[in-house]
Amino acid sequence: MARLFMKGCEAIAEAAVRAGCRFFAGYPITPQNEIPEYFARRMPEVGGTFLQGESEVASISMVYGAASAGTRSMTSSSSPGISLKSEGISYCASARIPMVYCNVSRGGPGVGSIQPAQMDYFQATKASGNGGFRMMVFAPSTVQEAVDMTYKAFDYADRDRNPVLILADGVIGTMMEPVVLPEMKSDEEIAAIKESKRKWACVGHPLDYANRSWIQPGQWSTKLQQEENEKAAALYESWEKDIQVEHYRTEDAQVVIASYGISARIARSAVDLLRKEGKKVGMIRPITVSPFPYKAFDALDYGRVKAILDVEMSIPAQFVEDVKTGVKERCPIRTCLCSGGNIMSREKIVNAVNSILEGM
Partner 1 sequence: METNLCVAGFGGQGVMTLGKFLADATCNSTDKNVTFFPSYGAEQRGGTANCFVVISDEAIGAPVGDVMDDLIVMNGASLNRFLGSLKSGGRLFVNSSIVTDPITREDITVVRAPVTELALEMGNAKVLNVIMLGVYVGYTEVIAPEIVWDTIQHKLAKKASLLPLNRQAFEKGLELGRSQRA
CB of 347 to partner 1, least distance (A): 5
Sign of the alpha-carbon torsion through 96, 98, 100, 101: negative
Q: At closest approach, how far in Å is the CB of 308 from partner 1? A: 20
226 or 269: CB nearest partner 1 = 269
Instruction: Compute the distance between CA of residue 312 and CA of residue 32 in angstroms, rounded to an integer.
Output: 20
Q: Closest approach of Cβ 97 to partner 1, in Å?
A: 35
Among 96, 103, 62, smallest CA distance to 81 is for: 103
- Of 34 and 158, nearer to partner 1 (C-beta) is 34
Q: Which is nearer to partner 1, 57 or 175 (CB)?
A: 175
What phi-psi label fits residue 308: left (phi over 0), alpha (psi between -120 and 50 degrees) or beta? beta
Closer to partner 1 by Cβ: residue 19 or 344 = 344
Closer residue to partner 1 in complex, CB, 9/320: 9
Judged by the rule CB under 8 A, the positions of this chain that interact with partner 1 are 3-5, 171, 174-178, 265-270, 272, 343-347
Give the pairing type, strands 245-248 and 281-286.
Answer: antiparallel
Nearer to partner 1, 180 or 191 (CB): 180
Nearest 10 degrees: CA dihedral of 120, 125, 126, 128? 70
CA separation (Å) from 232 to 128, 200, 213, 229, 314?
15, 16, 19, 5, 30
CB of 3 to partner 1, least distance (A): 6
Comparing CB distances to partner 1, the nearer of 8 and 291 is 8
Compute the least distance from the CB of residue 282 to partner 1, in Å.
Answer: 15
CB burial readout 48-72, b (16+ within 10 A) else e: bebbbbeebebbbbbbbbbbbbbbb
CB of 351 to partner 1, least distance (A): 11
Of the candidates 287, 302, 272, 24, which has an alpha carbon nearest to the alpha carbon of residue 166?
A: 287
Supply the minimum distance, in Å, between the C-beta of residue 130 and partner 1: 34
**What is the rounded CA–CA span in Å between residue 315 and residue 261?**
16
Number of Cβ atoms within 10 Å of the Cβ of 200: 17
Count Cβ atoms within 10 A of the Cβ of residue 228 and give its class: 0-12 exposed, 13-18 middle, 19 or more buried: middle
Residue 73: how many other CB atoms lie within 10 Å: 29
Q: How far is the CB of 207 from partner 1 (least distance, A)?
A: 52
| Pick 230 or 272: Cβ nearer partner 1 | 272
